[in-house]
């Protein structure tokens, strides 16, 4: 089983184990040895992913000409959740709504119209629905 796993490795995982003696892999606990050997180098990548996704989340803005549907920064939240970060524990619903509105790139008049549509509430879901309208 371990040799089959070793042969199926590609990319960075293959490079990490390329100088490992075959005797270290062709054992009863070979699969565990491979996983242990790859765990450290591959976990380090998650740190970089987390930093990248947090940076994107903190600096996300709507591009000129980008539609509201494309802009909705739930895509950023999904990226963070994929690496184990839950921003709902950091920001409540109103602060998320305020962030979305502030970074939407709308003029003051446009933001005011969104707030009129939400009846002066910063609820994230209400702001999303109103922006999409």
pLDDT in tens, 5-50: 888 888 888 888 888 888 888 888 989 988 888 887 777 677 788 8
- The verdict on 76 and 132 lying in the same domain is yes
124 is written with which tokens? 């994230």
Q: Is 119 within a domain?
A: yes
For residues 83 and 44, give the distance between their C-alpha atoms in angstroms, rounded to a whole number. 12
Query: Domain tally for the chain?
Result: 2
Q: Is 65 within a domain?
A: yes
90 is written with which tokens? 């950091």
Q: Is 54 within a domain?
A: no
Q: Is 55 within a domain?
A: no
Lowest-confidence region among 19-23, 41-45, 86-90, 122-126:
41-45
Q: Which domain holds residue 99?
A: 60-133
Instruction: Report the predicted TM-score, pTM, of the whole model to 2 decimal places.
Output: 0.52
For residues 101 and 127, give the distance between their C-alpha atoms in angstroms, rounded to a whole number. 7
In this prediction, residues 41-62 reach a mean pLDDT of: 78
- The verdict on 80 and 113 lying in the same domain is yes
């Amino acid at each position: 089983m371990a040799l089959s796993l070793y042969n199926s490795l590609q990319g960075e995982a293959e490079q990490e184990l390329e100088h490992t003696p075959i005797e270290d892999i062709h054992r009863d606990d070979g699969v565990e040895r491979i996983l242990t050997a790859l765990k450290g180098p591959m976990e380090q990548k998650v740190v970089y992913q987390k930093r990248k996704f947090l940076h994107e989340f903190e600096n996300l803005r709507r591009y000129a000409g980008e539609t509201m549907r494309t802009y909705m920064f739930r895509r950023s939240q999904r990226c963070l959740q994929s690496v184990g970060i839950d921003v709902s524990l950091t920001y409540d619903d109103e602060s998320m709504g305020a962030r979305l509105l502030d970074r939407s790139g709308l003029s003051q008049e446009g933001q005011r119209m969104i707030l009129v549509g939400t009846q002066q509430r910063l609820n994230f879901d209400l702001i999303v629905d109103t922006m999409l309208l």
